[in-house]
């Protein structure tokens, strides 16, 4: 972050990205499952669909997601 401020350049690694990477991203889905919710896709299917959309198939729109 300091180097970024000094040089005025934005780098791929920042303290925010490191914090996000190191953060706990698990959650307890007990309440969701007990409510009767049924996921439309398995975790494996969801991951496969995401990877296909993001990296395999040509984009059909100009939507870009930017973080930070």
Number of domains in the chain: 1
66 in a domain, yes or no?
no
How many residues comprise the chain?
68
Q: Give the pLDDT band (50/70/90) at residue 67.
A: low
Mean pLDDT calculated for residue range 35-57: 93
62 in a domain, yes or no?
no
Cα-to-chain-centroid distance, residue 58: 20
Question: What's the sign of the alpha-carbon dihedral 23, 40, 47, 54?
Answer: negative
* pLDDT score, position 39: 92
| Owner of token pair 């990477």 | 21
38 in a domain, yes or no?
yes
Domain enclosing residue 27, as ranges:
2-56
More confident: 11 or 45: 45
64 in a domain, yes or no?
no
pTM of the model: 0.48
């Amino acid at each position: 972050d300091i180097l970024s401020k000094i040089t005025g350049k934005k780098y791929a690694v920042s303290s925010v990205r490191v914090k996000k990477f190191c953060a706990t991203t698990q959650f307890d889905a007990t309440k969701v499952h007990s409510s009767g919710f049924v996921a439309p896709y398995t975790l494996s299917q969801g991951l496969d669909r995401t990877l296909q959309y993001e990296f395999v198939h040509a984009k059909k729109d100009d939507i870009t997601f930017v973080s930070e």
